[in-house]
Amino acid sequence: MGLSLLGGGFDYSAAAQDEFDDWYDTEHIPERLRIKGFINAVRWVGAANPKISLAIYDIESLAVLQKPEYIAVSPAHFSPWATRMLVQKCKRLCRFNCNQVSPGDQIAPDNAQGLLVSAMNVAPEADAEFNEWYDKEHLPRLAAVPGVLSARRFVSPGVGHKYVATYHLTSPEVCESAAWKEASTTPWTQKMQPHLSDRLRLVLRRYVRATPLPG
pLDDT category of residue 132 using cuts at 50, 70 and 90: very high
pLDDT at position 149 is: 98
User: Containing domain of residue 145, as a range?
Assistant: 4-206
pLDDT at position 138 is: 98
Q: Is residue 190 part of a domain?
A: yes
Q: Is residue 215 part of a domain?
A: no
pLDDT at position 211 is: 79
How confident is the model over 51-98, as pLDDT tens digits?
A: 999 999 999 999 999 999 999 999 889 999 999 999 899 999 999 999
How confident is the model over 34-44, as pLDDT tens digits?
A: 999 999 999 99
Residues 132-156, mean pLDDT to the nearest whole number:
98
Q: Is residue 212 part of a domain?
A: no
DSSP state of 38: B
Distance CA 32, CA 35 (A): 5
Distance CA 24, CA 30 (A): 8
Q: Is residue 211 part of a domain?
A: no
Contact by Cβ (8 Å): 101, 155 = yes
Position 125 pLDDT exceeds 80: yes
pLDDT at position 134 is: 97
Beta-strand relationship, 196-206 and 148-155: unpaired
Residues 103-131, mean pLDDT to the nearest whole number:
97
Instruction: Please report, for the domain that includes residue 109, its CATH number.
Output: 3.30.70.100
Cis peptide before 103 (omega within 30 of 0): yes
CA angle 17, 98, 10 (to 5 degrees): 15
pLDDT category of residue 1 using cuts at 50, 70 and 90: low
Number of domains observed in the structure of the chain: 1
Q: State phi, psi for 16 to the nearest 5 degrees.
A: -70, 135
Q: Is residue 70 part of a domain?
A: yes
Q: Is residue 107 part of a domain?
A: yes
Q: Is residue 173 part of a domain?
A: yes
Q: Is residue 104 part of a domain?
A: yes
Average pLDDT, the chain: 95
Distance CA 102, CA 125 (A): 22
pLDDT at position 75 is: 86
Residues 93-116, mean pLDDT to the nearest whole number:
96
Beta-strand relationship, 42-46 and 52-59: antiparallel
